[in-house]
Amino acid sequence: MAQATPPFAGFEWLIAWRYLRAKRREGGVSIMTLISLIGITLAVFALVATMAVRSGFRYEFTQTILGANAHLTVLSSTYVNEQGQTSRAITDYVTKAGELAKVPGVSRAAPVVRNQVMATANGYNSGVEVYGIRSADLIATPLIAHPETRIGNLDRFADGVAIGIGVARELGISVGDRIKLISPEGVKTAFGTSPRVKSYEVVYVFGVGRYDIDRTRIYMPLAQAQDYFNREGAVDEIELLLDDPDNVDQMVLPVTRVAGSRSVIWTWRNASGNFLQALKTEDNVMFIIMSIIVLIATMNIVSGLIMLVKNKGRDVGILRTMGLTEGSILRVFFIVGASIGIVGTVLGVVFGCLFAVYIDPIFTFVNWAMGGGVWDPSVRYLSQLPARLELGDVVSAVVLSLALSFVATIFPARRAARMNPVEALRYE
């Protein structure tokens, strides 16, 4: 009667190792082992690399949203002013901004005049969005004060305007040049409103790395914007920066209490939440697709083990007659398949992490090899392909790969364990 042995005893590992490195003439399946290993490695590499790129996209979009835009914006609902005209202007903005800045969790409250105009220089025209803002508030905007690319000095903001690097390229201008802004909301005359045209010196050029900001945005001192857009003594909105932008939903109620019942609150999630949700949905879909690829790769382990069990039928019969239990045989073949899965997973994670770390030179080479133009910021919004390694993503890839590898190994291992030694040795 066969005697039970401790699980995963040393001789079981020894037999499994001999099977793994056995040549084909010895009844092994070394080629299938190599193919299975390469398949698992490539599948895990693709999974880790894809998740790193998706995490990079999500992180960069969130950072540019939070770093160059308001976390929470206070607007006014429509009302009838003293002249009997409908308006949404905020006239008591100095007092209200001071009160909002005192709300716990608010780090900055900035009155802003905001409008769209036509910019022109050197015979080129471009539609832009002008933000009238105080100098101190602009300096407190992280991605504008400390962008990826900057030319000029933001300390001279009171003397001119700050423009996105995309606007500068479109119009062919830089620091020291002048830009002409044309607004349909111009001077009011007896014959109607005529367009207002005014020229400003460019004192600062910024590039935050996001196309829709760099290509359209211009900052102007608040007083000049009020004069240019006929907002004397008023602003369009008050932008708030929060200590914890992720806590923005909990900040809506206390801000509303201070801003008043006639105020309208708009959060960064209201403005970009649908886009971020779409990214999250795409992440989930990509994970499912890449999981299927990993599953297909693990099928090579199954086919390789089935061939190994068939080739090693005589050995299994001899081992059973020598006293090995079904459990020992099962563990031997499980070790064979699991070893392929573990080594392939480790190699895939290593290559995936290296890809994420060195994505810039890799992408530069691919772009050069393809003749340039592989990455279009106007379509993808970001100036370069991002990648960000997150522990949760790597752990998910490892757990998925190992789980599928272990599960795929069980079937052929059970088949070997249940092999009848008499049948295995009948024709030997």
Burial, 333: exposed, middle or buried (Cβ in 10 Å; 0-12, 13-18, 19+)? buried
The reported pLDDT for the residue numbered 363 is 78
Q: What is the model's pLDDT at position 82?
A: 72
The span from the CA of 403 to the CA of 408, in Å, is 8
Residue 239 has a pLDDT of: 92
8 A C-beta contact, residue 150 and residue 203: no
Return the pLDDT at 96: 92
By C-alpha distance, which of 140, 117, 141, 139 is closest to 69?
Answer: 141
In the chain, domain spans: 10-62+276-425, 78-261
pLDDT of residue 1: 43
Global confidence as pTM = 0.69
The tally of CA atoms less than 13 A away on the side-chain side of residue 390 is 17
**CA 224 to CA 131: how far, in whole Å?**
11
Q: What is the pLDDT of residue 45?
A: 93
Per-residue pLDDT of the chain (428 residues; tens, 9 = 90+): 445 566 766 667 777 777 776 655 544 456 777 888 888 999 999 999 988 888 888 887 777 778 888 889 999 888 777 776 778 888 889 999 999 999 999 999 999 999 999 999 988 999 999 999 999 999 988 888 888 889 998 989 999 999 999 999 999 999 999 999 998 776 666 556 677 889 999 999 999 877 778 889 999 999 999 999 888 889 999 999 998 888 888 999 999 999 887 889 998 888 777 777 777 787 888 888 888 888 888 888 887 777 776 766 666 666 666 667 767 777 777 888 888 889 999 999 999 999 888 888 887 777 777 776 555 554 445 556 778 888 888 999 999 999 998 888 888 877 776 666 555 555 45
Q: What is the distance between the alpha carbons of residues 180 and 198, in angstroms, rounded to a whole number?
A: 6
Exposure pattern of 113-139 as b/e (b: 16+ CB <10 Å)?
Answer: bbbebebbbeeeebebbbbbbbbebbe
- Is residue 323 exposed (0-12), middle (13-18) or buried (19+ Cβ within 10 Å)? exposed
pLDDT at residue 99 in the model: 92
Which pLDDT belongs to residue 35? 83
Residue 345 is encoded by which pair of tokens? 């997973």
Answer whether 262's CB lies under 8 Å from 172's CB.
no
